[in-house]
């Protein structure tokens, strides 16, 4: 087996069901891949235009997503659940704000990089398997403890304005790079958008 390390940038947002499905597809591909895949998570904010100051979601904001859009999204989620053999407790999470989760994850990525992947996976599972509100500080503190991270540090990270500024800078960087949707996988000059199947990731990563 090759020891070559390949770096994959992954733009994602926890409240995106296709990011959860894409993550599962990527893990399926990883088990078949010869060599080491190193994931560099890049945060992306799907709720930026609809977030109230208290973190609630303002559905009166016109973002072009109507009932027909959401029904089509649900159908696509169900189709990919079957295709990738992924169980999900809900198809959409339109009331959940992922900003606290992304801020906590950004902190862990910098301070506890060896535990980041476990925390990242636990956040996704909390939302899509257990239907927990990952916009809730106490939920995130509890999730952190399940993977051996200090809950108090996670609470502090969520309230850290400096970290919030760093995260917002990352969101702007994504816009500058032309990232318009998630998940987006980038390997060198190759780009795959959406919850693509393992076979397409094979074409991307070789």
| pLDDT (average), residues 145-152 | 98
Q: How many domains does the chain have?
A: 1
Q: What was the pLDDT predicted at 39?
A: 92
Q: What is the pLDDT of residues 121-141, one digit of tens each?
A: 999 999 999 999 999 999 999
**Residue 107 in contact with residue 120, Cβ under 8 Å?**
no
- CATH label of the domain that carries residue 17: 3.40.30.10
Instruction: Quote the CA–CA distance of 107 and 163 in Å, as a whole number.
Output: 7
Q: How crowded is residue 53: how many other Cβ atoms within 10 Å of its Cβ?
A: 5
| pLDDT (average), residues 41-67 | 82
List the one residue out of 7, 11, 8 whose CA is nearest residue 174: 11
- The rounded mean pLDDT for the chain is 92
pLDDT band at 206, cuts 50/70/90? low
Residue 143: is its pLDDT beyond 90? yes
Is the model more confident about 56 or about 184? 184
β-pairing, 5-12 with 184-187?
A: antiparallel
Q: What is the pLDDT of residues 96-118, one digit of tens each?
A: 999 999 999 999 999 999 999 99
Q: Is 71 exposed, middle or buried (0-12, 13-18, 19+ CB in 10 A)?
A: exposed
Q: What does residue 44 show for φ and ψ, rounded to 5 degrees?
A: -140, 135
Cα dist. 127→48, 122, 200 in Å? 19, 9, 26
Instruction: Quote the CA–CA distance of 102 and 123 in Å, as a whole number.
Output: 9
**Residue 14 in contact with residue 97, Cβ under 8 Å?**
no
Q: Print the domain residue range for 115.
A: 5-205
Instruction: Quote the CA–CA distance of 174 and 177 in Å, as a whole number.
Output: 5
Q: What was the pLDDT predicted at 8?
A: 93
| Strand-by-strand arrangement of the 5-12 sheet | 36-43, 5-12, 184-187, 190-193
Give the pair of three-digit tokens for residue 3. Answer: 């020891």
Give the pair of three-digit tokens for residue 7. Answer: 């770096």
Q: What was the pLDDT predicted at 32?
A: 86
Residue 51: is its pLDDT beyond 70? yes
Give the pair of three-digit tokens for residue 45. Answer: 């904010």
Q: What is the pLDDT of residues 1-31, one digit of tens each?
A: 456 788 999 999 999 999 999 999 999 999 8
Residue 188: is its pLDDT beyond 80? yes
Instruction: Quote the CA–CA distance of 89 and 131 in Å, as a whole number.
Output: 7
């Amino acid at each position: 087996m090759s020891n070559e390390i390949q770096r994959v940038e992954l733009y994602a947002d926890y409240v995106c069901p296709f990011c959860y499905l894409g993550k599962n597809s990527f893990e399926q591909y990883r088990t078949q891949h010869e060599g080491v895949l190193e994931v560099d998570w890049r945060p992306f904010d799907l709720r930026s235009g609809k977030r109230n100051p208290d973190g609630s979601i303002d559905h009166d904001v016109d973002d072009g997503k109507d009932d027909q859009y959401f029904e089509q999204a649900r159908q696509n989620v169900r189709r990919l659940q079957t295709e990738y053999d992924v169980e999900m407790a809900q198809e959409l999470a339109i009331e959940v704000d992922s900003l606290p989760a992304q801020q906590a994850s950004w902190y862990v990525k910098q301070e506890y990089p060896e535990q980041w992947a476990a925390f990242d996976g636990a956040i996704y599972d909390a939302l899509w398997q257990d239907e927990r509100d990952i916009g809730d500080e106490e939920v995130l503190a509890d999730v952190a403890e399940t993977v051996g991270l200090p809950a108090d540090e996670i609470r502090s990270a969520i309230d850290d304005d400096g970290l919030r500024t760093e995260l917002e800078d990352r969101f702007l960087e994504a816009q500058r790079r032309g990232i318009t949707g998630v998940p987006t996988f980038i390997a060198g000059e190759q780009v795959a958008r959406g919850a693509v199947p393992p076979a397409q990731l094979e074409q991307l990563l070789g």
